[in-house]
Structure 1
Amino acid sequence: MTEETYYVQGMSCSSCAKTFEENVKAIDSVNDADVNFGASKITVYGEASVDELEKAGSFEQLAISKEFTQTSFDLKQTLASNWNLLIATCLLAIGLYGMFQFGDHHPFTVTTLIGSIAIGGYSLVITGLKNLAKWRFDMMTLMTIAVIGAVIIGEWVEGAVVVLLFAISEWLEKYSIDRARSSIQSLMTIAPDTATVRRNGHEETVKANDIIIGDTIIIRPGEKIPVDGTVTAGESSINQAAITGESVPTFKTMDDSVYAGTLNEDGYLEVAATKRADQSTLARIIHLVEEAQNEKAPAQQLIDRFAAYYTPLIMIIALGVATIPPVVFGLSFETWLYQGLAVLVVGCPCALVISTPVAIVTAIGSAARHGVLIKGGSYLETLGRIKAIAFDKTGTITQGKPAVQNFHLFSNQLTPQSFFQIASALEAKSQHPLAQAVIQYTDNQFGLNDSHSVEAFKSLTGKGIQGRIDGQDYTIGSPSVFTLSPEKQLAVNEAQEQGHTVILMSQNDNLLGFISIADPIRSASKHMIQELSDAKLTHSILLTGDHDKTAQSISKQVGIRHFIAKLLPADKQTEVKNLQQSYGQVAMVGDGVNDAPALATADVGIAMGSAGTDAALETADIALMGDDLSNLPYTVRLSRKTLNIIKQNIIFALSTKTLALLLVIPGWLTLWIAILADMGATILVTLNALRLMNNR
C-alpha cells in the first residue's frame, strides 16, 4: 500500500477537516486517509490524484499540492478567488435598495435577493444537502437548513444576510487559522533550497535534497547551512536561533557540529555533511511539531465528544421551538419556524469546536520558533497544571563540565606547578570524569609535562588511582582512602560544604594536598528557579548522585527548596514516582540521556540542550533545543497562558450561545442576531488564541 502526503490550503475548521478526511476515504482507490489539521496536511494510504483530492475538498474549495508553498495574504488573489462573494454582496445591496423603493415582495427585490442567496450560498447549500443525505450534522448542515427555511417563509433579506455573513466569517476564520500555522511554515522555509558542494575537486550548485552524507559543502558569509554537518575547515559565528532559540551567535571551528537552517554570519566554512536534508535536526523538529499539532489535548478530546452530542441536540431543540408553540399553544407557525431557524444558526458548534485546537496549534508553533519543541497538546496542557518540578543536577542546573575550583597544599615538598603536573600525569591514565578537570587546569595554568612517565599504574575501583613516578609512589583518591588528621579533615570538610568534590594526593603515604573540583552552576539557574516560583510552580526538587553536602550547597545557591542525594539513574525514576504520590503530576528536567527512565516516568519529561541529541528528542515530551535556561520559565508561562485562553474560549463560546438561545423565550432571537452571535464568537475565540503568537 502506497503512502503519500499532500499539503492542503484553505482548511479552516476541524469539523471540515474531518469531512474532507471522510470524503477522501470514500475514493475507491484509497484504503485510508489521515488529516493533520494543525499542519494542514493529509496522508493518503492508497492512490489518489490531486484532482480527486481537490474534488473531495471542493465543499471548502481546498487546494492540494505535493510540495509545500508558503502562503501570504494577497488582496488581488483573495478578491479573485471570492468573486461569488463580491457578486452576492452587490446583489444584496441592490436587493435592499429595491426593498426600500418597491417593497419586500416586489419581483425585482425578490429576484435580486434570491440571486444573492444562490450565488453566495451555492457551495454551502450543495455541501449541506450532501451532508443531510448522509445524516452528517455539522455547521454546513445547520446553515443549509436555516437558509432553505428562510427562503420557504419568505425571509429573503435575512436568508441573504446569513449566507453573506457566513461566507465572510469563513474567510476570516481561514485567514486566522493560516496565521496560527505561520510559525511552523516559517520553520519550513529557513533551510536553503540549494547549496555549493565540492565534488571531485570542482564546486557545483546542487539542490539541498541531493546532498549526500560525506559531501563537502562550501558555506560563505551570509549563507545558510543546508544540512547538518561537521566543520572541516574555517571558523565563524553561527546564528542558531532557528534551532535553539538562542539570540547570541555561537562560535564554530574545526570538528564542531552545525545544523541545517542556521546562518553563517562572518566567516568561511567547509562542512562535511553528516545527515541528509530530510534527516536533519530541522527536518525532525518540523516533523515532530506537525505531529504534535495534530495530537489532541484532553480539553479538545472532551469538546469533540461533547460536540458529537451537542449538534443533534441543537437540531432537536430547533425542531421543538418551531413546532411546539404552534401545535400546542396555537401560536403563529411562521413566527416560530423563524425562531427555530435562528436556533439552528446560533447553535452551530463552530466556535466551540475551534476554541481549543487553534490555541494548541498557535502555542506549539510559537514555542518552536523560540527553540522549544513540545510534542503534543496533552503535554502542554499537563505542564500548565503542574505544581512540582524535579531537576537533574549535572548539565541542567550545572554546566556539566567539572572544573578545578581551588587547591590546598599540606607540604612544601612540591610547588603548585609540580603538584599539578604529577597529578595530571597520573590522571591521564584514568577514565574518571574528574580526571579531565585536573588535566585541563594543569594545561591552562602551568602547561603539561610529558617527561613524567607513570609506572605500576593501578586503579582503586571507586576510590582512586596509584602509580610510580621517578621512583616515588603516588596515590590520588577520595578522602576515604586516606587517614586524615583533625586539622586536615577540617580543611576538607570546609571545601565539601561549599559543594566541592575533594581529591587528595600523597607521596609515599605522606599527604601533599588536595584539589577542590566542582561542576560550575549555570549563571542563569538562580534566576530560572525564581521565575518558576513566580509562575506558581512552588515545589522544586534537586535529584543528584552527589553526596548530601554538595546537593545542599547547590540547592541553597540557586533557590531549590528540596534535594535528594546519592541517587543512581534508576533511583531517580523511583524518586519521581514518590514525588508523584506526594504532589500529583510532576515534571522532570534532565539531559535526556542518562535521565531517560526518570524523564519517561514523569508526567512531563523536559530535556535540556537537545539540539542534535537523538536520545533527548525521542525520550522527552518537551525538548529545550538550546542550553538557555530562560526557555523553561517561558514554556511554563506559555502552557499556563494556553490553558487560560482555552478556558476563556470555551466559556465565551458557551455563554454567547446560551444568552442568544435565551432570547427565544420572549421571541427576540433573529437570524441576524444568531449569525452575529455564532460567527462573531468564532472569530473572537480565534483572535484570542492568536495572542499566543506574541508570547515572550
Structure 2
Amino acid sequence: MSNTEKQMQESCCKEDHCSSKQASQTAPNSEENTSCFEDEPCGNISDQNSQMAAQTSACCGDNDCKGNKEIDDQGTTSLETFEYQIKGMDCPSCATTIEKSLTKTKGINTVQVNYGTGKMAVGADHSSVSDQIPKHVRKLGFEAESIPSKKNTQSYKIEGMDCGSCAMTIEKHLTRNPNVKEVSVNFSTGKMHIDHNTNQQEIIKEVERAGFGASLESSRKQQEGPSETKQKDATTMISGLLLALGFFGSFTNITPELITVLYAAAIVIGGYKPARSAFYAIKSGSLDMNVLMASAATGAAFIGEWFEGATVVWLFALGNTLQNRSIERTRESIRSLINLTPSEATVKIGEKLVRKPVEDVSINDRIVIKPGEKIPLDGEIISGTSSINQAPITGESMPIDKQQGDTVYAGTVNENGSLEVNVTKLVEDTTIAKIIHLVEEAQEKKAPTQAFVDRFARVYTPIVFGLALLVMVIPPLLGFGTWSEWLYKGLALLVVACPCALVISTPVAIVSAIGNAAKNGVLIKGGTFLEKAGAIKAIAFDKTGTLTEGKPNVSEVLSIHGNEEELISITRTIEEHSTHPIAQAITTYATEQDIDAKNGDSFKAITGKGAQATINGVEYFAGNPKLYDEMNVPLTDLEDRIQTLQQDGHTLVVVGTRSEVLGVIAVADTIRDITVQSIQNLKQAGMGEMVMLTGDNEGTAKKIAAQTGVDRYFAELLPEDKVTAVKKLRKEGKSVAMVGDGINDAPALATADLGIAMGGAGTDTAMETADIVLMADNLEKLPHTIRLSRRALTIIKQNVWFSLLTKLAALFLIFPGILTLWMAVLSDTGAALLVILNSMRLLKQK
C-alpha cells in the first residue's frame, strides 16, 4: 500500500464511512502486471488524485463519527448523523459524486460514502434535512434508503447458561416483554445483545426471573462482588452434604422419615434455581434441560425414589458447575487479550511527563514509552528507535526494528530504546480493540455444523420427551408391568432427552480454535470460515506482496540512444503520478540518482498495460511490451535482451513514443524469507495444491514458482483474470483459498471459497475484506491456521459422534433396567464435561 493510501486510511474515522478507504479496497490488483501503473476503476490519473484528495477531506476527524450526535467545543449539540443504504453505484467515483453534491446542500455539514458497503453517513443540522436527502440522491441517479439506528442496544454478560437451550429460554422469555424490541443470546460467548425501551435494572430482573444472572458489559469491573456462581457453588455443596448425610444415615439407626427429610431438603435446596428456570422455560414455550431435570427429580420423589431424586439434583448441579467453569475458561481466552494493554500512559505535556488513564488520552497527544514497557495506544514514532515485540498482535516470533515515522500498536512491547509516539487512535479504536471486537463477533456466528446440531436438538428433545410420556403411560395400561416401574424408566428417558453434550459439541470447539488463532495473530471471522479452512484442498497466492516483498528495485537500465539520464527523467515524469510499487521503485531510483522529472501533463493510466503523459507536446508511454505491440512499435533491437531479462524474473517497463522505443527499465522483486518455509510447512500439513497467480510473463512466473516451491502457476494475468483462475480451480473440484493483501485482490478473495488477507495490522481494510486475516505481513502463521482448522473439524466430529453414541447407549440400557436414574444424569453431565474438555485442547495447540 502506498503512503498516500495509508495517510488517507489513518485520517478516516473508525466507522466504515470513508470512500477513500474503500476505493483502495476495491481497486483491482495490477501489482504483478509488467505495467507500472495501478488499474484505476474510473478516470485518469489526475482525476484519481483529485478524487483521493476529495475523499480524504471528506473523512471525519478524530471524534466526529462516534455517535448519533456530534458535540462542538462548547459542548452543545451541533450535528445529527443519519445513515443510508445507497444503490446504483458503479465505482468509487460515484461515491465521490454523491459526496461533493450533498456537501453543497444547505444544512448538510459532512458526508461520507463507502462504495464497498454501499453505505452513506450524513452529518446534518436537524432531522428535517434528512427527509430531503433521498430526493437529492435520486436526482444524481442513485437510490438512498434510510437505515434506522439502534439507540438502545446493549450487551450483557449472562451467567448460568449450560447449553444452547438456556439461551433460547432467555430469548423467548424476554421477547414476551413489550419493552424489548429485539434480543439475541449467544451461549458460546455468554453474551446477550438486546434492543429495548426500558432500564438496565428491569432487564437484569427479567433475566433473573428466567433463572440466570446478568450484568451490563460496561459495568463488569464495578460488579465484582459476590456472584451468582458462588451462590450456586454454595447451594450445590449444601445439597451434596444433605445427600451424603441421608445416604450414610440409611446404614445407621436413623429413622426412614428423617432420611427422607434430608433427601427432600437436598432436592429443594439444590433444585430451587433449576425449577425456577424450568417454570419460565415452560411459560416461554421452551423445553430446555432445566425442564427435563426438574421433571425427573419431581417424578422420582413422587414415586418414592427420594435418593434417586436427590442424586439427580446434585449431579445435575455439580455437572453444571464444572461445565460453567470450563466454558468460562474458554470464553476468557479472548478477554485475556484486553489485559495486554496497560491502563495508563505517560503523556508529554510541554516538558513534563504526566501519567494518565488511556481513556483520557486524545489523538495527537504525545506519549513516552520506556524500554521494557508495553505500548498503551496505537501511534506513530516521532523520535527514537527500538525493537518492538509485536507477537500479541501479529504473532511474529522475532521483534521488529522501528524508527521515526513507523507505526506502533497498543499491547506490543518496547524491548529497548525510549520512544516518543504521536497517538493516532483512541483506546476504543486501537488495532487490538478491533481484534477483540471482530473475534467476539466471530464467536457469535454459527458454523454450519452448529446450526445443524441446533436444528437436530430442537427436533430430538421434544420427540424423546413425548416418547418418555408414552413409556410412562402405555405399558402399564396394557398390563406390561407396574406404574412405578414404567414411571421410573420414563423419568430416565427424560434425562436422556437432554441433548446438552451434543449442543455444546460444536460451539465450544469453535470458540477455542478462534481464541487460539487470535492469540497467534490470526483472525478467523466465524465458525463457517473455520470449517472451510479445514476443508481447503488448494491455495492460490497472489505473487506481489504475498510471496514476494512487494518492494521492487530497479535492477537494470537499457537506453537505445545511450542517454540513460534522459530516459529515467522521462519515465519519472510519467511514474510520479502512480502509487504502484513498480512506479515507486523507478521514482525512488531517479531520486537516488538526482534525476529530476520534466514538466508534463495529460497523465493517463492504460488499464493492465501501462501509462502515458505528454511532455513538450509529445506523447510518451511507459508500459509492458504488449502495449508497444498494440501500437505497432517494433522492439527489434531489444527483443533478445527483453527475453533474457524476463526469463531471469525481471519485470520490464518499456519507455517510448508512438513511433519509437527509447529504452527499457528492468525491475525485480525479492521473495520473502518466510515464504519458502511456509509453503514447505503447508505441504507437510497435507495441503493438496499451491498455485501462484501473477501478471508477470511466463519466464518470470516459472522462475518464481521454482524458487518458492509452489506446484502450479498462472502467468500474464490481468486483474480480472485472477477471478477466472480461481473459478477454474473450483471447477476442477477443489475447495480453494485465495491469499492476497486484502485490498487489490478483493474480487479474487470474494470469488474463492475462503479469502485470506495478509497484513491486517497495517490496514483496517484487510481486516474488513477477508474471511481470515493474517495480522503479520507474511505467511508465517498460515500453516498453523490450516492445522488448527483441520484439528477443530476432527474434534467437532469426535464430539458429535461421542454425544450421539452416549445417548444411543443410554436409550438401549434404560429398558432392560440396567441404567438407573442417577446413572442417566451422570452419563449426560459427564458426556457434556468430556466434550468441553476435548474442545479445550484446541486452546493449547501450538
Assess same fold via TM > 0.5.
yes
Alignment of 1:246-645 (within 5 A): 246-404=396-554, 407=556, 425=569, 427-431=571-575, 433-438=581-586, 448-449=593-594, 462=609, 489-502=639-652, 516-645=666-795
- The Cα of 1:477 is off from its aligned counterpart by 7.3
Alpha-carbon distance in structure 1 between the residues aligned to 2:625 and 2:531: 48
Q: In structure 2, do the counterparts of structure 1 residues 296 and 409 end up closer, same or farther at CA, with 3 Å as the change threshold?
A: closer
- The Cα of 1:59 is off from its aligned counterpart by 5.2
Cα deviation digits, residues 154-208 of structure 1 (max 9, x gap): 1111111111111111011111111111221111222222222234665433322
- The Cα of 1:503 is off from its aligned counterpart by 5.2
- The Cα of 1:454 is off from its aligned counterpart by 6.0
Higher mean C-alpha deviation, range 529-538 or range 458-467: 458-467
Per the alignment, residue 161 of structure 1 pairs with 311
Aligned residue identity for 2:585: A
- The Cα of 1:535 is off from its aligned counterpart by 2.9
Cα deviation digits, residues 637-691 of structure 1 (max 9, x gap): 1111111111110000000010111012322121122012111110001111001
Higher mean C-alpha deviation, range 77-86 or range 353-362: 77-86
Per the alignment, residue 471 of structure 1 pairs with none
Per the alignment, residue 286 of structure 2 pairs with 136
SS state at 2:398 partner: coil
SS state at 1:592 partner: coil
Alpha-carbon distance in structure 2 between the residues aligned to 1:15 and 1:453: 70
Cα deviation digits, residues 366-387 of structure 1 (max 9, x gap): 1111111111111111121121
Q: In structure 2, do the counterparts of structure 1 residues 490 and 30 end up closer, same or farther at CA, with 3 Å as the change threshold?
A: same
SS state at 1:67 partner: helix
Alpha-carbon distance in structure 1 between the residues aligned to 2:697 and 2:543: 12
Higher mean C-alpha deviation, range 320-329 or range 160-169: 320-329
Q: 2:322 aligns with which of 172, 187, 197?
A: 172
Q: 2:168 aligns with which of 18, 21, 40?
A: 18
Give the conservation status (yes or no) of the 8 Å contact 2:690–2:712: yes
Q: In structure 2, do the counterparts of structure 1 residues 335 and 495 end up closer, same or farther at CA, with 3 Å as the change threshold?
A: same
Aligned residue identity for 1:267: G
Give the conservation status (yes or no) of the 8 Å contact 2:542–2:693: yes
Give the conservation status (yes or no) of the 8 Å contact 1:50–1:65: no
Give the conservation status (yes or no) of the 8 Å contact 1:555–1:562: yes
Per the alignment, residue 96 of structure 1 pairs with 247
Aligned residue identity for 1:87: I
Per the alignment, residue 334 of structure 2 pairs with 184
Higher mean C-alpha deviation, range 223-232 or range 141-150: 223-232
Alpha-carbon distance in structure 2 between the residues aligned to 1:286 and 1:34: 19
Q: In structure 2, do the counterparts of structure 1 residues 479 and 118 end up closer, same or farther at CA, with 3 Å as the change threshold?
A: closer
The runs of 5 or more residues in structure 2 that have no matched partner are: 1-150
Give the conservation status (yes or no) of the 8 Å contact 1:347–1:678: no
Cα deviation digits, residues 37-81 of structure 1 (max 9, x gap): 33332222123324641551455542413436589x999997665
Aligned residue identity for 1:111: V
Aligned residue identity for 1:43: H
Q: In structure 2, do the counterparts of structure 1 residues 572 and 285 end up closer, same or farther at CA, with 3 Å as the change threshold?
A: same
Alpha-carbon distance in structure 2 between the residues aligned to 1:299 and 1:233: 51
RMSD of equivalent CA atoms: 3.4
Q: In structure 2, do the counterparts of structure 1 residues 510 and 347 end up closer, same or farther at CA, with 3 Å as the change threshold?
A: closer
Give the conservation status (yes or no) of the 8 Å contact 2:370–2:419: yes
Q: 2:300 aligns with which of 150, 164, 167?
A: 150
Aligned residue identity for 2:440: E
Identity fraction in percent = 44
Cα deviation digits, residues 89-148 of structure 1 (max 9, x gap): 111111011211248x71121111111111111111222233234442111100011000
Alpha-carbon distance in structure 2 between the residues aligned to 1:227 and 1:672: 54
Alpha-carbon distance in structure 2 between the residues aligned to 1:148 and 1:233: 72
Give the conservation status (yes or no) of the 8 Å contact 1:235–1:253: yes
Are residue 693 (structure 1) and residue 843 (structure 2) matched?
A: yes
Q: In structure 2, do the counterparts of structure 1 residues 90 and 465 end up closer, same or farther at CA, with 3 Å as the change threshold?
A: closer
The runs of 5 or more residues in structure 1 that have no matched partner are: 469-473
Q: Under a length normalisation based on structure 2, what TM-score does the superposition of the two structures give?
A: 0.74
Per the alignment, residue 49 of structure 1 pairs with 200
Per the alignment, residue 87 of structure 1 pairs with 238
Alpha-carbon distance in structure 2 between the residues aligned to 1:201 and 1:45: 48
Q: In structure 2, do the counterparts of structure 1 residues 611 and 286 end up closer, same or farther at CA, with 3 Å as the change threshold?
A: same
SS state at 2:425 partner: coil
Q: 1:8 aligns with which of 154, 158, 171?
A: 158
Per the alignment, residue 238 of structure 1 pairs with 388
Aligned residue identity for 1:239: N
Aligned residue identity for 1:100: F
Alpha-carbon distance in structure 2 between the residues aligned to 1:437 and 1:476: 14
Alpha-carbon distance in structure 1 between the residues aligned to 2:597 and 2:438: 52
- The Cα of 1:501 is off from its aligned counterpart by 2.0
Q: In structure 2, do the counterparts of structure 1 residues 170 and 58 end up closer, same or farther at CA, with 3 Å as the change threshold?
A: farther
Alpha-carbon distance in structure 2 between the residues aligned to 1:313 and 1:476: 73
Alpha-carbon distance in structure 2 between the residues aligned to 1:408 and 1:214: 44
Count of residues in correspondence between the two structures: 679
Aligned residue identity for 2:241: C
Q: In structure 2, do the counterparts of structure 1 residues 185 and 58 end up closer, same or farther at CA, with 3 Å as the change threshold?
A: farther
Higher mean C-alpha deviation, range 35-44 or range 544-553: 35-44
Aligned residue identity for 1:448: Q
Give the conservation status (yes or no) of the 8 Å contact 1:54–1:61: no
- The Cα of 1:18 is off from its aligned counterpart by 2.4
Give the conservation status (yes or no) of the 8 Å contact 2:573–2:600: no
Aligned residue identity for 1:544: T
Aligned residue identity for 1:197: V
Cα deviation digits, residues 275-320 of structure 1 (max 9, x gap): 2221222221111111110000000110111111111111112122
Q: In structure 2, do the counterparts of structure 1 residues 11 and 239 end up closer, same or farther at CA, with 3 Å as the change threshold?
A: farther
- The Cα of 1:410 is off from its aligned counterpart by 9.9
Alpha-carbon distance in structure 2 between the residues aligned to 1:554 and 1:50: 63
Q: In structure 2, do the counterparts of structure 1 residues 300 and 632 end up closer, same or farther at CA, with 3 Å as the change threshold?
A: same
Greater relative contact order, per chain length (Cα 8 Å cut-off, separation 6+)? 2
Q: 1:194 aligns with which of 336, 341, 344?
A: 344
- The Cα of 1:577 is off from its aligned counterpart by 2.7
Aligned residue identity for 2:507: P
